[in-house]
Amino acid sequence: MTDTARARKMADRVREIVAEALEKRIKDPRLGFVTVTDARVTNDLQHATVFYTVFGDEDEKIASAAALESAKGVLRSEVGRRTGVRLTPTLEFIADAVPENAAHIDELLRTAATHDADVAAIAATAEYAGDPDPYRKPADELDELDELDELDELDEAGEDGKPAAAAAAAAAASAAEAAAAAELGDLDGVAREAAERAGLEGRA
């Protein structure tokens, strides 16, 4: 087995040779603007994978892929001639999706940045639906406890005061009744005295 360093060196040579051959030797009209982006060679140097991109629409990409498939023999012969290896590696062409993926990622990043800017603009003029700080603080809890203590005191005073107030009202009513009875008693005494005086005068 050949070491990995030699395989990487061979891959670099294959990439250079194929790129130059596509530019100078291959005259297939179907071949569009092809750029060789990378090449990988197996450790035994028996197989090479060449990655490429095509500048153009989908039809141009399909046509360029067909042209590369047709040119495999010529390109492999060129690689064998210029590298001098005993066994020339077979070639496989694969469309490189990295640039397209990178462009898609850039578009997603631009969209996200625009969305973030819109959200920041809305947030700058937004107002709180409730309190700006909704979290409870120890001071607030103490205030609530004081309020509850005051309410408890009022309730206790009300419960104790109700019997006292009732007793006071009853005492007042009793005093009024006693006063009224005294007045009636005095009137009865006056009447009796007047009657007795009238009887004495009649006898005389």
Closest to 89 (Cα-Cα) out of 36, 38, 45: 45
Domain boundary among 81, 100, 119: 100
CA 68/CA 104 separation, integer angstroms: 26
Q: What percent of the chain has pLDDT over 70?
A: 56
Q: Name the least confident of 46-50, 73-77, 94-98.
A: 94-98
Tell me, what's the pLDDT at 161? 45
Residues 90 and 15 in one domain: yes
Last residue of a domain, one of 49, 81, 100: 100
Distance CA 50, CA 18 (A): 8
Which of 29-33, 37-41, 107-111 has the lowest average pLDDT? Answer: 107-111
Count of H helices and E strands in the chain?
A: 5, 3
Assigned token pair, 153: 């005191």
How many domains are contained in the chain?
2
Residue 37 in domain: yes
Q: Evaluate the CA torsion angle 149, 153, 154, 158 in order and state its sign.
A: positive
| Entry pTM | 0.49
Domain of residue 202 covers 136-204
Residue pair 6/45 in contact (Cβ under 8 Å)? The answer is yes
More confident position, 198 or 44: 44
The predicted pLDDT at position 202 comes to 46
CATH number, position 16:
3.30.300.20
- pLDDT-derived band at 182, boundaries 50, 70, 90: low
User: Which of 92, 107, 103, 82 has the alpha carbon at shortest distance from 52?
Assistant: 92
